[in-house]
Amino acid sequence: MTLRGVQKAIAAAEQEAAQRQLPALPQPDWVLQLDVGRDARPVAVHIGGCNLAGRRARPISREQASRVLTEGLEACAVCWPDTELGIL
């Protein structure tokens, strides 16, 4: 009888925790990696979800990504956003 009570308590706690979870935010299509420091200058462009973008990444639009890449900002050598955008 005690085992059933513990199982019910666990199930109730799991259900409550699942209800409290926030929905995941949609992943941006393009991100701008920023440098460390006060200036936080742009470092590179990545495809959204690239692990190399780091925590200091900001979402940008497709047009912004194209513009900064054509202006000479570095493209990630792993996710290849320049190839995805048709900029070689």
**34 lies in some domain:** yes
**60 lies in some domain:** yes
What pLDDT shows up at residue 1? 60
**If DSSP codes are grouped into helix, strand and coil, which group holds residue 28?**
coil
**12 lies in some domain:** no
What pLDDT shows up at residue 32? 96
What's the pTM value of the predicted model, to 2 decimals?
Answer: 0.71
- 20 or 67, greater pLDDT: 67
Chain-centre distance of CA 12, in angstroms?
A: 32
Number of domains in the chain: 1
Range of the domain at 79: 30-85
What pLDDT shows up at residue 20? 83
**5 lies in some domain:** no
**45 lies in some domain:** yes
pLDDT at 24 over 80: no
CB 57 within 8 A of CB 32: yes
**69 lies in some domain:** yes
**If DSSP codes are grouped into helix, strand and coil, which group holds residue 21?**
coil
What pLDDT shows up at residue 46? 97
Q: Which residues touch 7 (CB under 8 Å, ≥6 apart)?
A: none
